[in-house]
Amino acid sequence: MNRDALVVGINQYPFLKDTPTSKAKHLSTPASDAEAIAQRLEEYGGFRVRRLPETIQEGQRRVAAGTLVQTDALEDAIIRLFNPVGESVPETALLYFGGHGLRKNRGGVTEGFLATSDTCPQKNQWGVSLRWLRELLQKSPVRQQIVWLDCCYSGELLNFAEADLGTTGQESLKHTKQVSPPLNSHHYLATASADKTARLWEVSNSKQIACMRHEGHVYSIAFTPDSQYLATASADKTARIWEVPSGREISRITHNNDVKTVVFSSDGKYLATTSNDGTVKVWLWKSEDLIDEACNCLTRNLTPEEWQQYLDREPYRKTCSNLD
């Protein structure tokens, strides 16, 4: 399965100022955050990753913290990802953007933008239009599309003002932090938010069909390659896997600090998580895979007490058919 990713982290905003004489609104973390995401996607997700802006450090490609990104360059990179010309179309395409997000309001009409280094609202230069991105995604031949926007006003990608996804536009904008739309035959879309929820939407009728609750900020979401399951990462120190479209929780993984990122392997068997506890972990998350792995090591079946400890969400049964 071909999986391509464009990972963007923009620190430099020399023209983004409140007034012509105020300090530029540079950022300190998007480039390093983007590089961390890029490495996880390469190592655990099987993605071919393009970085923007990019530099070479000790022979390795890295996101460049001090380099400018122009609007045209970002648009061209996004087009190459989602609408490649003369290239093989990937099964999955993922866009990650870290940087400033802006919203323009003119005559009561709002539009969101991914701010680039040449963004200057005083000169009516806003960056990459989220309305343009949405239309590009609709025309893209890529079957599974994932858009991860770590910026303000990312909810404008969904155009909530025009398509009410089960609530008012303002409430939806407050909810959305990350958007993940895998455009398969079911056309489900997932969002994650600081309101401690991830939500699943039916794109065809603009209705919310499931609300999945954590006890902390939900940072990251990811679908399995077949879009049958959804993983969420949260400040409550857990990553959770949910059934699509029911929203039923089927598995839970814990860290010692906030879980920041979730990525499935290309076959969907493994889930990789990153955490503020300083670890990256790779998990078997399906109960049947866990049982098969256990049976390769066990010399006896699990007792009911041991089963409850490790597989409490599954009804007790004989663990391994080849053991007494």
**Nearest C-alpha neighbor of 175 from the set 185, 183, 167:** 167
Tally of structural domains, the chain: 2
Same domain, residue pair 249 and 175: yes
Q: Determine the pLDDT at residue 319.
A: 73
Same domain, residue pair 305 and 243: no
Per-residue pLDDT of the chain (324 residues; tens, 9 = 90+): 689 999 999 999 999 999 888 999 999 999 999 999 999 899 888 899 999 999 999 999 999 999 999 999 999 999 999 998 876 899 889 999 999 999 998 888 889 999 999 999 999 999 999 999 988 988 899 888 888 888 888 877 765 444 433 333 333 334 555 555 543 434 678 888 888 999 988 766 668 899 999 999 998 898 888 889 999 999 999 999 999 999 999 889 999 999 998 988 888 889 999 998 888 889 888 877 777 777 777 778 878 887 777 666 677 777 777 776
- Spatial contact of 18 and 63, defined as CB atoms under 8 Å apart: no
Same domain, residue pair 244 and 311: no
Same domain, residue pair 136 and 84: yes
Which phi-psi region, left, alpha or beta, contains residue 72 (left: φ > 0; alpha: ψ -120 to 50)?
A: alpha
Same domain, residue pair 261 and 306: no
Write the DSSP assignment of 100-111 as a string of letters: -EEEEEETTEEE
Structure tokens, 255: 């860290």
Give 293: exposed, middle or buried? Use CB within 10 Å, 0-12, 13-18, 19+: exposed
Q: Determine the pLDDT at residue 192.
A: 86
* Cβ neighbours of residue 7 closer than 8 Å, sequence gap 6 or more: 34, 35, 37, 38, 41, 49, 50, 51, 52, 63, 96
- Spatial contact of 206 and 214, defined as CB atoms under 8 Å apart: no
- Spatial contact of 127 and 62, defined as CB atoms under 8 Å apart: no
* Cβ neighbours of residue 189 closer than 8 Å, sequence gap 6 or more: 158, 179, 180, 181, 182, 200, 201, 203
Q: Say which CATH number the domain at 211 has.
A: 2.40.128.630
- The reported pTM is 0.65
Same domain, residue pair 185 and 86: yes
- The Cα–Cα gap between 181 and 51 comes to 21
Same domain, residue pair 247 and 312: no
Q: In the sheet where 270-275 sits, what is the strand order?
A: 259-264, 270-275, 280-284
CA atoms within 13 Å, Cβ hemisphere of 184: 19
Same domain, residue pair 200 and 281: yes
H or E element that contains 136: helix 130-139
H or E element that contains 41: helix 30-44
| The residue to which tokens 């958007």 are assigned | 179
Q: Work out the number of other CB atoms within 10 angstroms of the CB of residue 191.
A: 25
Same domain, residue pair 293 and 279: no
Range of the domain at 123: 3-286
Q: Determine the pLDDT at residue 311.
A: 66
Could you give the C-alpha distances from 195 to 19, 216, 235, in angstroms and in order? Answer: 32, 8, 11
Q: Determine the pLDDT at residue 166.
A: 36
Q: Determine the pLDDT at residue 208.
A: 86
**Nearest C-alpha neighbor of 4 from the set 67, 89, 120, 104:** 89
- The Cα–Cα gap between 19 and 37 comes to 33
* Cβ neighbours of residue 37 closer than 8 Å, sequence gap 6 or more: 7, 96, 98, 148, 261
Q: Determine the pLDDT at residue 50.
A: 97
Same domain, residue pair 153 and 298: no
Structure tokens, 157: 């990608």
Same domain, residue pair 250 and 324: no
Same domain, residue pair 248 and 293: no
- The Cα–Cα gap between 12 and 64 comes to 10
